[in-house]
């Protein structure tokens, strides 16, 4: 896999701490590298630092000039279903009005309603919906 060097970001935002990634309240203390760069090797971030230092390490890498843009980590959503049929908007509205999950399920809503709609949908329908949602995920910063 080819290496990639992303250079000249006005800022690279990092959650790296002095000895380990930041956790808990430390997450409010962002690391900011001005004129930052990111070196990616074999599909993984190899190093992050000031652009001229990253450039020295990037022999043979494809160079991408970020032109002063900001580079920051993507959000990881640990509970995302990209492929599904139907939606749970009615459930959300009913929960907001104070109904319990049991009441919603008895009325035909809940998780089993979307399971049924997913099973009933064609592969083409599911693929079209997934393509729409993946664009939204990326637009709003969810990368994984």
What structural domains does the chain harbor?
A: 4-71 (2.30.40.10), 89-139 (no CATH)
The mean pLDDT values, 10 residues at a time, for the chain of 144 residues are 95 89 88 96 94 96 97 83 89 94 93 93 96 88 81
Q: Can you give the pTM of this predicted structure?
A: 0.62
Beta strand 31-41 pairing with 44-50: antiparallel
C-alpha 18/C-alpha 12 separation (Å) is 16
Other Cβ atoms less than 10 A from the Cβ of 12: the count is 24
pLDDT at 12: 97
pLDDT at 143: 82
pLDDT at 140: 83
Other Cβ atoms less than 10 A from the Cβ of 39: the count is 21
C-alpha 12/C-alpha 72 separation (Å) is 6
């Amino acid at each position: 896999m080819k290496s990639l060097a992303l250079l000249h970001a006005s800022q690279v935002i990092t959650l790296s701490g002095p000895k380990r990634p930041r956790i808990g309240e430390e997450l409010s203390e962002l690391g900011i590298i001005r004129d930052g760069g990111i070196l990616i090797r074999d599909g993984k971030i190899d190093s992050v630092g000031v652009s001229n230092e990253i450039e020295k390490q990037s022999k043979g890498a494809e160079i991408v000039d970020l032109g002063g843009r900001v580079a920051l980590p993507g959000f990881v959503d640990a509970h995302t279903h990209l492929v599904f049929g139907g939606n749970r908007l009615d459930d959300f509205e009913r929960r907001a009005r104070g109904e319990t999950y049991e009441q919603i399920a008895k009325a035909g809503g809940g998780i089993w309603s979307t399971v049924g709609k997913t099973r009933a949908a064609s592969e083409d329908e599911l693929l079209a919906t997934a393509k729409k949602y993946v664009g939204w995920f990326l637009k709003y910063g969810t990368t994984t």
